[in-house]
Amino acid sequence: MSTGISDAEVLEFIARTESFYPPDATDFTIAEQRRVYDEMCAAFRQPRPAGVAVTDATIDGPGGPVPRRRYVPPNPGPVTVVYFHGGGFIVGGLESHDDVCAEIAAATGCPVISVDYRLCPEQIHPAAYDDSLAAARAALAEGPVILAGDSAGGNLAAALAQTLRGAAIKGQVLIYPGLGGDMLGLLSYTECADAPMLPTRDIRYYRTVRAGGPVPEDDPTFFPLAAADLGGLARCFISAAGVDPLRDDGVEYLRRLIGAGVTAYCVVEPQLPHGHLRARTMSHRARAAFGRILEAIREFAA
């Protein structure tokens, strides 16, 4: 697959993103990274669709209360999407993905719960995983769920699908997930090493901060691709970005899921970079990719 981007709409999205969140942002302090990321997300944020009711609450987690935000569309269905936001386990929260979660609820008819897990470096692994597991279990106590997330959130959704196999999980939807492919030497980490939005060096930076020490290479709650057995998992849809070092994480996970007898499929979106969810209102490619994500959720919820 080509790693070049010629699509004018995508190039405009990248330029606009970098005007808020520059390519060297990982050289900033953690506080500065969060400030510029929040400003960028606010600049791209869309109004919530009409009719979606939104409430904030907390659930009990191992490190204290875990904030969550619930989005309920008109005439909600019985399956809830539990959504885990991206941000390298360092940035992001309920506000950064508020519009995405509201649009998922409106477009699919599924209630959505967004989870505000603890961030690094204040709370290193497994804090984010533990909070997300507590939130998923609380949602499962109310009914069946779909586990979904982008980037770091895709990592969490995949890890939880493994931990909770056998529970009432109707599907997992992983959006350009980071699953540990750099530890396997997957090709996309060199082919897309200098990709816009997320170069390979940034992935290694996030991994080091998340670990807070030696990286636990054989821990599937850290790297879902480290799992020895993927049998019995819920159905899976993977949306991989074509110009992204994480591209082959999704492709390799698909291969392993199918090999374990799991129903799974993956779409590699050409010319789209990491983080393209925010481009869905300014790029036909990103809009179509988001449409495929919504269709997977509707299919799993049916």
297 or 1: which leads in pLDDT: 297
C-alpha to C-alpha distance for 19 and 223, rounded to whole angstroms: 32
Burial of 28 (0-12, 13-18, 19+ CB in 10 A): middle
Q: What integer is the mean pLDDT of 81-108?
A: 98
d(CA 7, CA 14): 11
Does the structure show a pLDDT above 70 at 110? yes
Alpha helices in 59-151 (DSSP H): 98-108, 127-140
Dihedral angle computed from the Cα positions of residues 169, 171, 173 and 179, in that order, rounded to the nearest 10 degrees: 70
Q: Residue 1: what pLDDT?
A: 59
How are beta strands 53-61 and 80-84 bridged, if at all?
unpaired
Please name the residue that has the structure tokens 């998922």.
104
Rounded to an integer, the average pLDDT of 241-253 is 98
What average pLDDT is seen over the chain?
97
pLDDT > 90: percent of the chain: 97
Give 47-55's long-range contacts (Cβ < 8 A, gap of 24+). 47/99, 48/98, 48/99, 48/102, 48/103, 49/73, 49/102, 49/103, 49/105, 49/106, 49/107, 51/106, 52/102, 52/105, 52/106, 54/102
Residue 242 has phi, psi (to 5 degrees) of -70, -30
Positions marked active-site? 151, 244, 274
Provide the CA 2 distance to its chain's centre, in angstroms: 24
For residue 2, pLDDT beyond 80: no
Which residues fall within 8 angstroms of residue 137, CB to CB, at 6 or more apart?
A: 164
Q: What is the pLDDT of residues 148-189, one digit of tens each?
A: 999 999 999 999 999 999 999 999 999 999 999 999 999 999
Alpha helix segments (H runs only) across the chain: 8-20, 30-44, 98-108, 127-140, 152-163, 188-191, 200-211, 247-259, 284-301
pLDDT band at 4 (very low <50, low <70, confident <90, very high): confident
Q: Is the pLDDT of residue 244 over 90?
A: yes
Straight-line distance from the first to the last Cα atom of the chain, in angstroms, rounded to the nearest whole number: 33
Q: At residue 89, does pLDDT exceed 90?
A: yes
24 burial level (CB within 10 Å; 0-12, 13-18, 19+):
exposed
> Looking at the domain covering 8-301, what would its CATH class be?
alpha beta
287-302 pLDDT per residue, tens: 999 999 999 999 999 9
Q: Which residues contact 130 (CB under 8 A, 6 or more apart)?
A: 61, 62, 63
